[in-house]
Amino acid sequence: MRPKILTGIVYATIGLLLDLLNPFFISKLIEWIEKDDAVWWIGLLFALGIGAVSHSKAYLYRRGVFSESQLEVELHSIVKQSVFDKILTIPMTSLNMIDFGLISNIITSDLLSVIHYAYFLIVGYSSIIFMIPALAIFYYHYEWYFLFAPAWITVLMLVNAAFTEVATHFMIKRTKYSDNLGVLANEIVKGIKNIKFNVWEKISLKKTMEQRRGDGKMNSLYILLNQNINNFSYFVPTLIVASIHIAFTR
């Protein structure tokens, strides 16, 4: 697993670093166009450089996604195998104490949350590495005004932490509803004869819909908070550039 993590981080980091080259080639190409005595092959080199960077980024992105997918498959297999190993070693006398609805929920919905760890692991490390040369370029052009960048990033992290704390509350509630739904489904399947015999279909359906509505409501609130976090993060680069420009040109 460790080589795949390192490979994914390397691919993602190089792809992010290539983003720093495109503005350079574009600025040089604009300077070449504005010249009256421009040499044609120099402009061709700048154009080819832009194309090479774009194709390299696309290749590295695909390789990074492939490494992430491999890591997700391994995580998926490890968690499932651990759950099945634990189930198969349960003594016969303890089987009545086990709720198989919760177990089925672990290897379905809960497992999806676990495998997202691969994405955040690779993107998190590569982003931290990418920040070092990016801040160095800001310092080269704007000297100590570059500190606006880490300042706004810190604000983003604090806002993100606050929103995540609230979102986690909704996520925990959603998980409880999802677990209850798994338990309820297991009970309905096991007691379907009694439900039919006693005409409890509407009662069972009512209980199921209550859990599904609760699950849907908590999931909607969780997604809404996450989207607000993402929306704020889109404004941070603009705030960084605007702050540096205002302070540097005043």
Of 186, 197, 176, 203, give the one whose Cα is nearest residue 98: 186
- From 50-59, 73-82, 167-176, 229-238, the region with the lowest mean pLDDT: 73-82
Q: Which of 60-69, 81-90, 200-209 has the highest mean pLDDT?
A: 200-209
In angstroms, rounded to a whole number, what is the distance separating the alpha carbons of residues 228 and 225?
Answer: 5
In angstroms, rounded to a whole number, what is the distance separating the alpha carbons of residues 114 and 162?
Answer: 22
Q: How confident is the model at residue 32 (pLDDT cuts 50, 70, 90)?
A: confident
Domain that holds residue 89: 1-98
pLDDT score, position 234: 80
Indicate if the pLDDT at residue 109 is higher than 70. no
The answer to whether the beta carbons of residues 127 and 210 sit under 8 Å apart is: no
Structure tokens at 222: 């969780």
Q: How confident is the model at residue 176 (pLDDT cuts 50, 70, 90)?
A: confident
To the nearest whole number, what is the mean pLDDT of the chain? 78
CB within 8 A of 5, min separation 6: which ones? 67, 71, 118, 121, 122
Do 143 and 226 lie in a common domain? yes
pLDDT score, position 67: 78
Structure tokens at 37: 């005595």
111 burial class (0-12, 13-18, 19+ CB within 10 angstroms)? middle
Q: Indicate the DSSP class of residue 98.
A: -
pLDDT score, position 13: 81
Residue 107: Cβ within 10 Å count: 15
Do 3 and 83 lie in a common domain? yes
157 lies in some domain: yes
Q: Of 50, 76, 98, which closes a domain?
A: 98
Do 81 and 160 lie in a common domain? no
